[in-house]
Amino acid sequence: MKARPRTIQIYLPRGEPRGLRMAELTTSIVRVIEVPRPLLDEFTDMPEAEQVGVYFLVNDDESQDQPAVYIGQTGGVGKRLREHHKQKEFWSRALVVVSLTQNLTQTHALYLEWSGIKRANEAGRYQVENGNAGSKPHTPAPLEADCMDIFDTLRTLVATLGQPIFEPLTKGSTSTTAHDTADTFYLKSSRYDAVGEYTDEGMVVLAGSKARKTVAGSMAGTPLEHKRQGLIDEGALKLEGEFYVFQRNVLFKSPSGAAAIVRAASSNGWVAWVDQQGKTLDELKRQNT
């Protein structure tokens, strides 16, 4: 779906930018409430805590190579979050989706939960703690149409609040196979063979890319070596023969960081990444700016 201009209102009940936040489109009845875990008691005192809702438990710890999310639905959001507070350790904040008119039904919630798990898995940006989405719940056609509209709104709102759970990392293919756009770049030698897509967020190294097996001296003992080892430990990089192969798309905040992980050596990604004609990322994206 093509993006379009939208107006979003964000209300800060405590006046704290990273405290409780309530976001809504000015033309929609959908509200998303961001609840930092330490402020759970404040949320459960709010009337929205008694409503039917869909919620997202997220762990956005920057020390983790991939954020995690758990998606659920319930007839009483506050009570369910209290249960998760006792039973689930991983999450640091919750995003709660409710209706301003309180007309969200259990049928809506079940469909939105199923759709959310499915779409989050497809996007591949977060580790989905639910596993797969299971089977699609039976939903009458009129309600399904409502749910699709609600989902479009909540997708925008959760991303605006800093959790792009449903936003694909790339605009093109999700792997190195048959991937070539104006933003596609390559890093190749006898020791590595990677494809990346340059995006607004940085450089995404695509699944199937091959990284150098052994770490060069210039990278040994650096934070980048720690980052690389983290990717190996969590399974994003898997040893296959003479290469470490990317098992999923991985976003790096800079082209140089991406190049360093692929080459296992400190690198200037702006000149290392080239397009099919051999033009560098620097020539195409910085010098032409």
In angstroms, how far is the first alpha carbon of the chain from the final one?
28
Give the mean model confidence (pLDDT) for residues 38-63.
Answer: 93
Give the mean model confidence (pLDDT) for residues 243-254.
Answer: 96
Scan for tokens 């580790």, then name that residue: 127
The band of 4, judged by pLDDT with boundaries at 50, 70 and 90, is confident
User: Could you tell me if 123 and 206 lie in one domain?
Assistant: no
The pLDDT assigned to 63 comes to 67
User: Could you tell me if 149 and 265 lie in one domain?
Assistant: no
User: Could you tell me if 148 and 188 lie in one domain?
Assistant: no
The pLDDT assigned to 190 comes to 96
User: Could you tell me if 86 and 148 lie in one domain?
Assistant: yes
Least confident of 1-5, 9-13, 145-149, 250-254: 1-5
User: Could you tell me if 152 and 21 lie in one domain?
Assistant: yes
For residue 163, the number of C-alpha atoms closer than 13 Å in the C-beta half-sphere is 33
User: Could you tell me if 129 and 219 lie in one domain?
Assistant: no
- Within a domain: residue 173? no
- Within a domain: residue 253? yes
Percent of the chain with pLDDT over 70: 95
Mean residue pLDDT of the chain comes to 93
SS (H, E, C) the chain: CCCCCCCEEEECCCCCCCCCEEEEECCCCEEEEEEEHHHHHHHHCCHHHHCCEEEEEEECCCCCCCCEEEEEEECCHHHHHHHHHHHCCCCCEEEEEEECCCCCCHHHHHHHHHHHHHHHHHHCCCEECCCCCCCCCCCCHHHHHHHHHHHHHHHHHHHHCCCCCCCCCCCCCCECCCCCCCCEEEEECCCCEEEEEEECCEEEECECCEEECCCCCCCCCCHHHHHHHHHHHCCCEEEECCEEEECCCEEECCHHHHHHHHHCCCCCHHHHCECCCCCEHHHHHHCCC
Give the mean model confidence (pLDDT) for residues 273-282.
Answer: 95
Percent of the chain with pLDDT over 90: 86
The pLDDT assigned to 176 comes to 61
- Within a domain: residue 257? yes
In this structure, are residues 163 and 95 in contact, taking their beta carbons and an 8 Å threshold?
yes
Q: Whats the size of the chain, residue-wise?
A: 289
Give the mean model confidence (pLDDT) for residues 214-238.
Answer: 93
Give the mean model confidence (pLDDT) for residues 268-279.
Answer: 96
The band of 65, judged by pLDDT with boundaries at 50, 70 and 90, is confident
Q: Residue 187: left (phi > 0), alpha (psi -120 to 50), or beta?
A: beta
- Within a domain: residue 165? no
- Within a domain: residue 265? yes
User: Could you tell me if 106 and 205 lie in one domain?
Assistant: no
Scan for tokens 């969590």, then name that residue: 234
List the structure tokens of 243: 């290469």
108 vs 263: CA distance, rounded Å: 48
- State which residues form the domain around 65: 8-160
pLDDT surpassing 70 at residue 17: yes
pTM attached to this predicted model:
0.88
- Within a domain: residue 18? yes
User: Could you tell me if 16 and 131 lie in one domain?
Assistant: yes
The pLDDT assigned to 60 comes to 78
- Within a domain: residue 248? yes
The model's pLDDT over 96-147, given as tens digits with 9 standing for 90+, comes to: 999 999 999 999 999 999 999 999 999 999 999 997 777 899 999 999 999 9
User: Could you tell me if 125 and 202 lie in one domain?
Assistant: no
226 vs 236: CA distance, rounded Å: 14
Give the residue from 160, 192, 212 where a domain finishes. 160
User: Could you tell me if 27 and 152 lie in one domain?
Assistant: yes
The band of 231, judged by pLDDT with boundaries at 50, 70 and 90, is very high
The model's pLDDT over 152-170, given as tens digits with 9 standing for 90+, comes to: 999 999 999 999 999 999 8
User: Could you tell me if 154 and 205 lie in one domain?
Assistant: no
213 vs 125: CA distance, rounded Å: 25
User: Could you tell me if 34 and 137 lie in one domain?
Assistant: yes
- Within a domain: residue 242? yes
| Domain total in the chain | 2
The band of 34, judged by pLDDT with boundaries at 50, 70 and 90, is very high
Give the residue from 120, 145, 160 where a domain finishes. 160
Give the mean model confidence (pLDDT) for residues 177-206.
Answer: 89
